[in-house]
Amino acid sequence: MATGKIRYWAAAKEAAGVAEESFDALTLGELMTKITQNRTELARVVRRCSFLIDGTPVGRRPHDEVVLGDGATVEVLPPFAGG
């Protein structure tokens, strides 16, 4: 089990009610399940988000296959308007 921090931006931050929180999860998929449990609005928002792990884009990789390292920082980035 890895521990780290997750940072929310824009609409994800508003839906989470916090800018950042600690996590413990093995994969990005497990982390998404944990953070959206009993948080309906956040679950809705993160479905449209992209993710960075320690500055590296996750892209289209299945979240259950993205292993989180200990001390990782996960950024949750909703779609942004404009260029």
Which residue is associated with the tokens 């931050």?
A: 13
Q: Which long-range contacts (CB under 8 A, 24 or more apart) does 80-83 make?
A: 80/10
What is the span of the domain harbouring residue 28? 2-77
pLDDT per position as a tens digit, 64-80: 999 999 999 999 999 87
Q: Are the C-beta atoms of 7 and 20 separated by less than 8 Å? A: yes
Dihedral (CA of 40, 42, 45, 51) sign: negative
CA neighbor of 8 nearest in space, from 45, 59, 60:
45
Residue 82 lies in a domain: no
- pLDDT for position 58: 97
Higher local confidence (pLDDT), 74 or 83: 74
- pLDDT for position 1: 85
Q: What are phi and psi of 82, to 5 degrees?
A: 90, -175
Structurally, the chain folds into a number of domains equal to 1
- pLDDT for position 81: 54
Residue 83 lies in a domain: no
Residue 34 lies in a domain: yes
Q: What are phi and psi of 40, to 5 degrees?
A: -55, -45
- Is the confidence at residue 83, as pLDDT, over 50? no
